[in-house]
Each structure stands twice: as structure tokens, then as C-alpha cells.
């Protein structure tokens, strides 16, 4: 009897902790849209992006679809039509509204979307209070991590949307600007050749694409102490980097010519020098801050210009296992990329997602999530490259050493940069 009581008490504590995590995550999403008008929340600037309002509704659809409909026989669906509107890419569950046209969904209104969220929240808290089923815990945890991904996407997408406005409005005037502290010189940490283990270690949450943990053999390599700065990237531009085909991959050179790119996204050359559009608005380019919104083609071209290369994702993960330092994520309230600290390795977590040379592929023995959630990651393992480390708009406690983000090589609107590597 005593053992059963202790088990019940432990489950109760676990449920309270999960409810707290759920509430905190849901509240942050609504805090992120607080600076926005309803018109702002409607904007969709390109097919790769989604309106802020859609992000708010989709993550609620996730909890409604994967948890409430499945585990709560008394749950009343808020609106049957929302299943089609806010399903992202789950073909096994049903049809989806056209992604490039999400900005046309003027209805439901933002007020209705927020009402939908609160309807789901009440039902979810009741479900988590009454049940301790392991499947409910696992799916709720996945839903929380999924919403954290969309919090980052929300900020990324609204920045791109506001940039289309000639007024170049700020998302928030209260966020801090990029720092102008001087950079430490570029130095290198050497890692010996050998057999290493990479992938999630099984402690705490992980996405399916981080598993299983496995061994890899690496030759000796060196990794730069910090990401590339705006000033260093500007030197590449001034040396004709966007006009010199010898540094670019074939597809990258085709992208340069098709897009007519001459600098990273959000850089503007004006009469009084280079400027950078940030979440705080347009500012003079901070030369000591981390270069950001660089795509894979630009990252690889810069590395070639420097006579270096991008690290593989395995090299990055091995190096990150030796790192201890400050994380600049969305909790800092800065929402900008900072200058490096004077450490052997700095800024590995936060500031910018760092491109690696590794294609996004399954690990040996990869198994997707069970059931309908199996469509979460695995089906995107084609034509994309892995990024590591998180960014300044990553939610708190969301990234880890084994976290694998992935995007197509031409995409710039993410908070992505690069760190140089070379053979030892």
C-alpha cells in the first residue's frame, strides 16, 4: 500500500511539472504576438513562411488532434473546419489548406484563434490532471517541443514579413541592439582523431531524428573559437565574393545569378554605409556581431574564400560536448546576435544556427515516432543540410548538443550563420 501511495504521489508531482511546462510554453507564444497588431499576425511574406496567427492555431491543432481527440472521449472539438485549415503536413490525418496561401485566411480572426487556444488549454489541463498515461506524457512533451519550434518560426517569419514594408518597422523597440564589443581574434581548437559517440544519450527529451546514439570515426580536425562576424563577411563582399564563381558550388552560383544576391538577407548598402535590419529595426551594421541570415551556399562560399571548410555535424557535436558557457536565446530578451566571448569555444548554443557540411539523413537504425507522429521528421530527409546550436530566437532549454535542425541550401530567412573548420 505504501509503495502504491508513493507511486501515486510521484505521478502527481510529474503531472504538475508537465502542466507547468505546458502553461509556460503556451503563455510564451501569446507573449510573442503581444507586440503585433491583428494585421501583423495576418502577414505571409513568402511560401516558406506562415502568418503568426496560423502558428498560434496550428500548435493548438496539434494538441487537439494528437491528444484530446485520442484520449478524452468527452472532448468537444472547437471547430471541425480547423482540422483542414491548420494541419501542416500530416497526410495520414487528412488534407491540408495550401501552405503558400495561409496568408489568405483572414477568418478565423485572431480573437477566434486565441479563443481556440484557450479552449484547448482548458481541456489539456483537465486531461493532464486526470491521467498519468505514459503515452499522454510523451505526446504532451512532444507537443511542447513542437510549439517551441513554432515560437522560433513565428519570430523568424514576422521579421521577414515586416522587412517587406518600406517603413521597416521594428517588431519591438524594447529589445536590445547588437553589441559592439571588440571581437577576440580567430583561434582554433584541435580535436584528435578517434572513435566518438554522437546522437542523443537517452536522458530527457529528444526528437526521433537525434536517435539512436552511434559511433563515428573522425579524422583530427580544428574548429574556430567563434562564428564568423559581420565585419569578416563584409571583407568577403568587398573582395568581390559574390562575383567570383570559383568560391561557389554550382547550385550556389546559379542561385547567386538567379537571385542577384550581393549580400546576406537584411543587409542594405546606403549612402552612409552598410545597415542591417533587425527585430529592433534598421541599424548601422554592427561589425563585431555574428553574421546572420546566411544560406548554405553563402556559408560554403565564404569558407572556400578563407581556405577553410564547414564542419560536419559530427565534428560540431563532438566539439560542443566540451563547451560550457552562456546561451543567448530568446529568454535573454535580446533577440539579436552578440559578439563572441573570449573563450576557447564560444557561442556554440544560441546566437545563430550554424551550417554544417552534412546532408540531413537518418542515423543508422533510425526509427520515426510511432503512429501518425511518424511524419514529424523522417520524410524530410532529402535535399537539406543540417544546422546545429540554436539561435537567439530559440526558446529556453530547447536546444541541446544532439539537436539537428535542417533547411534547404538556398534558404536565408532563418537565423543562420557559420563557424569555420579545417583538417588538423
Sign of CA dihedral 353, 356, 359, 365: negative
> Would you say residue 12 has pLDDT above 60?
no
Class of domain 188-423: alpha beta
Residue 156: name the closest of 418, 419, 417, 412 by CA.
412
As a whole number, the mean pLDDT across the chain is: 93
pLDDT for 305-330, tens place per residue? Answer: 999 999 999 999 999 987 666 677 88
Q: What percent of the chain has pLDDT above 90?
A: 84
How many Å apart are CA 230 and CA 339, to the nearest integer?
10
Do 194 and 218 touch, CB atoms closer than 8 A? yes
How many Å apart are CA 308 and CA 252, to the nearest integer?
17
Do 293 and 412 touch, CB atoms closer than 8 A? yes
Q: What is the rounded (10 degree) CA torsion for 63, 69, 73, 78?
A: 80
State how beta strands 416-417 and 353-359 pair.
Answer: parallel
In the numeric block, the cell 520524410 is attached to 379
How many Å apart are CA 129 and CA 18, to the nearest integer?
10
DSSP state of 240: T
> Would you say residue 344 has pLDDT above 90?
no
In the CATH hierarchy, which fold is given to the domain comprising 2-163? 1.20.120
Q: Is 188-423 in the same CATH topology as 2-163?
A: no
Please tell me the predicted confidence (pLDDT) of residue 375: 85
Please tell me the predicted confidence (pLDDT) of residue 334: 64
Quick count: other Cβ atoms within 10 Å of Cβ 31?
10
> Would you say residue 76 has pLDDT above 90?
yes
Please tell me the predicted confidence (pLDDT) of residue 9: 43
- Give residue 141's region: left, alpha or beta (phi > 0; psi -120 to 50): alpha
- Helix, strand, coil distribution of the chain in percent, nearest 5: 40, 15, 45
CA distances from 137 to 18, 63, 127, 132 (A): 8, 12, 10, 7
Residue 264: name the closest of 288, 236, 245, 244 by CA.
236
Q: What percent of the chain has pLDDT above 70?
A: 93
**Least trusted range by pLDDT, from 3-7, 361-365, 408-412:** 3-7
Q: What is the rounded (10 degree) CA torsion for 202, 360, 423, 319?
A: -30
Please tell me the predicted confidence (pLDDT) of residue 134: 94
Please tell me the predicted confidence (pLDDT) of residue 2: 47
pLDDT, average across residues 161-177: 85
SS3 288: coil
Please tell me the predicted confidence (pLDDT) of residue 5: 46
pLDDT for 81-139, tens place per residue? Answer: 999 999 999 999 999 999 999 999 999 999 999 999 999 999 999 999 998 899 999 99
> Would you say residue 175 has pLDDT above 60?
no
Please tell me the predicted confidence (pLDDT) of residue 325: 63
> Would you say residue 1 has pLDDT above 60?
no
Phi and psi at residue 278, in whole multiples of 5°? -125, 180
State how beta strands 188-191 and 221-224 pair.
Answer: antiparallel
Q: Element (H or E) spanning 270, and its range?
A: strand 267-270
Helices within 34-109 (DSSP H only) = 38-42, 52-63, 69-71, 82-86
Please tell me the predicted confidence (pLDDT) of residue 296: 98
pLDDT for 249-281, tens place per residue? Answer: 999 999 999 999 999 999 999 999 999 999 999
Residues recorded for the chain? 424
Q: Which residues contact 183 (CB under 8 A, 6 or more apart)?
A: 226, 229, 231, 288, 339, 340
Domain boundaries, the chain: 2-163, 188-423
Amino acid at each position: 500500500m505504501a509503495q502504491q501511495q508513493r507511486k501515486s504521489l510521484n505521478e502527481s508531482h510529474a503531472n504538475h511539472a508537465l502542466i507547468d511546462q505546458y502553461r509556460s510554453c503556451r503563455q510564451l507564444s501569446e507573449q510573442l504576438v503581444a507586440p503585433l497588431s491583428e494585421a501583423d499576425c495576418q502577414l505571409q511574406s513568402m511560401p516558406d513562411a506562415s502568418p503568426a496567427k496560423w502558428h498560434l492555431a496550428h500548435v493548438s491543432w496539434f494538441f487537439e488532434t494528437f491528444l484530446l481527440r485520442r484520449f478524452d472521449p468527452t472532448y468537444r472539438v472547437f471547430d471541425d473546419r480547423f482540422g483542414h485549415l491548420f494541419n501542416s503536413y500530416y497526410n495520414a490525418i487528412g488534407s491540408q489548406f495550401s501552405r503558400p496561401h495561409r496568408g489568405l485566411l483572414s477568418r478565423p480572426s485572431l480573437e477566434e484563434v486565441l479563443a481556440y487556444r484557450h479552449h484547448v488549454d482548458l481541456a489539456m489541463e483537465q486531461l493532464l490532471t486526470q491521467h498519468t498515461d505514459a503515452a499522454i506524457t510523451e505526446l504532451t512533451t512532444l507537443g511542447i517541443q513542437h510549439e517551441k519550434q513554432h515560437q522560433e518560426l513565428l519570430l523568424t517569419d514576422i521579421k521577414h514579413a515586416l522587412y517587406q514594408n518600406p517603413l521597416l518597422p521594428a517588431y519591438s523597440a524594447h529589445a536590445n541592439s547588437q553589441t559592439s564589443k571588440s571581437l577576440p581574434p580567430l583561434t582554433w581548437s584541435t580535436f584528435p582523431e578517434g572513435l566518438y559517440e554522437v546522437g542523443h544519450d537517452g536522458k530527457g527529451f529528444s526528437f526521433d531524428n537525434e536517435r539512436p546514439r552511434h559511433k563515428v570515426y573522425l579524422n583530427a580536425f580544428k574548429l574556430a573559437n567563434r562564428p564568423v562576424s559581420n565585419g569578416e563577411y563584409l571583407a568577403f563582399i568587398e573582395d568581390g565574393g559574390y562575383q567570383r564563381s570559383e568560391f561557389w558550388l554550382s547550385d550556389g552560383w546559379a542561385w547567386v545569378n538567379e537571385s542577384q544576391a550581393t549580400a546576406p538577407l537584411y543587409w542594405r548598402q546606403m549612402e552612409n554605409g552598410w545597415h542591417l535590419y533587425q527585430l529592433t529595426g534598421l541599424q548601422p551594421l554592427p561589425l563585431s556581431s555574428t553574421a546572420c541570415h546566411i544560406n548554405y551556399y553563402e556559408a560554403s562560399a565564404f569558407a572556400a574564400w578563407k581556405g577553410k571548410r564547414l564542419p560536419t555535424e559530427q565534428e560540431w557535436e563532438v566539439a560542443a560536448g566540451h563547451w560550457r558557457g552562456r546561451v543567448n536565446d530568446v529568454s535573454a530578451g535580446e533577440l539579436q546576435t552578440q559578439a563572441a566571448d573570449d573563450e576557447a569555444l564560444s557561442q556554440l548554443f544560441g546566437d545563430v544556427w550554424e551550417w554544417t557540411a552534412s546532408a540531413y539523413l537518418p542515423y543508422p537504425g533510425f526509427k520515426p515516432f510511432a503512429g501518425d507522429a511518424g511524419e514529424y521528421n523522417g520524410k524530410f530527409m532529402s535535399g537539406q543540410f543540417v544546422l546545429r546550436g540554436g539561435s537567439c530566437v530559440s526558446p529556453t532549454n530547447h536546444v541541446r548538443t544532439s539537436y539537428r535542425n535542417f533547411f534547404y541550401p538556398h534558404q536565408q530567412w532563418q537565423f543562420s550563420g557559420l563557424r569555420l573548420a579545417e583538417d588538423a
